A and B are shown apart, each in its own frame.
Chain A
């Protein structure tokens, strides 16, 4: 009943397709070289950082169309903290009526940076933490990255002016057994929100099969999230990366809904207009250097808003297709409509 209501809601949201969550891939440079990175970023990117004014010019139509403080700009990378003008970009975004946030590995996030970003109006932040010290450092391929991330987490968790934040953990066979200890540690550090991903076979992780959970490990993760939510000491949830069948509403607040291209757009490092940055870049619908962002948003994105093309491969005759519409966009490539992995199937 609730699922049917959700499916109707999803259909109406898709028809309306208001753009209210926009990624800006401001750089592809990164100060770490994580084993499981989905973006395949690098220390010195081939592509230069996007000038902020190029991005600002592109999003001007959004400023005119939507009410102030209703479009949320998520600054991502690469590592956004490597941009010297990050706080200034944020301050300008606020001046133009956008809310903004960053996704970071926390390595370069110290007290001075924290204050600078807070004063520039940062409204939300996500920090990655992928295990206890040794495991996290091994994932990040950098000793000391755990301590830096914890330092960032302490600054954030103790900040009274930060409206919202969360810590994300990419769960793999290497850190699955550490979740209980991590939970204890995060609660001790006053963390309020913790989100879980599995590692998608994309980017650098595409060639590292040891990073993916098998069915029983995925069930173990789901059961851990369910139990943690019941305890109520930390707001644990699974990300929106996959449809999970009977677990769907037990591990998150609402049903699975991949909003890529429906409410979520992006401006990628080369100016491409797409949805989430981890989606196959060949799905890009235009480019800010040649197209008007709002025209592209209004008139393109058909593949994102009508997912019938995904009804193939394992999804072809699947009874759950009406609920998941082929799962999350980042698990598809333009070459084949087939989903790379189905969490629901792994769980049954």
Chain B
């Protein structure tokens, strides 16, 4: 056990050295290049807003809100408010496609690209 601890310590030094670091770059023959990053990038995207009826401007409940990049689905409440959050692991500011669909099929579905103002999304849906 102690032997292994010593080896692990020496190994850490070797892995950090420019000359011997290649020893530790491992890749299975049918796998992908290995990558380790202790400080990997991640942040939580929060998208929220209100869904209303385009004719009456009344808030709509029961509208499913989803994106094309995550399986997460939010449902608007009695005030038409929704809040959708999901984790992303890449620095990409080109926005997200939001999909609005009525579970009761009263309103036509809507796809829209949201690039900024993620916390103030106002969407109106037209009745079918």
- Chain A interfacial positions (CB closer than 8 Å to B): 6, 9, 12, 15-16, 20-21, 23, 38, 67-70, 72, 74, 76, 85, 87-88, 91, 94-95, 99, 101-103, 112, 115-116, 118-121, 123-126, 161, 163-166, 193, 197, 239-241, 253-254, 259-260, 263-264, 276-278, 328, 330
Contact = CB atoms under 8 A, between A and B. Distances in A.
- The dominant DSSP class at the A interface is mixed
Contact of A21 (B26, B37, B86, B90): B26
B47 to A, nearest CB: 14
B114 interface: no
Given A120-B70, A254-B23, 5 more contacts: A9-B23, A94-B89, A115-B92, A115-B94, A121-B42
B30 A72 contact: no
Interface residues of B, number: 35
Binding site secondary structure of chain B: loop
B29 interface: yes
A20 B8 CA distance: 14
Contacts of B86: 91
A342 B23 CA distance: 23
B35 A124 contact: yes
A50 B65 CA distance: 28
A276 B42 contact: no
A166 B36 contact: no
Interface in B13-63: 22-23, 25-38, 40-42
A21 B30 CA distance: 12
Given A15-B4, A70-B36, A85-B71, A276 B89 contact: no
Q: Which 10 A-B pairs have the closest CB atoms?
A: A121-B89, A101-B32, A253-B22, A126-B32, A241-B29, A118-B90, A124-B32, A239-B29, A164-B33, A74-B31
Nearest to A90: B89
Contacts of B87: 91, 94-95, 121
B46 to A, nearest CB: 15
B35 A72 contact: yes
B127 to A, nearest CB: 30
7 contacts: A85-B71, A116-B68, A118-B89, A161-B41, A163-B35, A164-B33, A330-B30
A238 B37 CA distance: 25
Contacts of A124: 32-35
Determine which residue in B4, B7, B29 has the highest number of CB atoms from chain A within 10 A of its CB, and name it.
B29
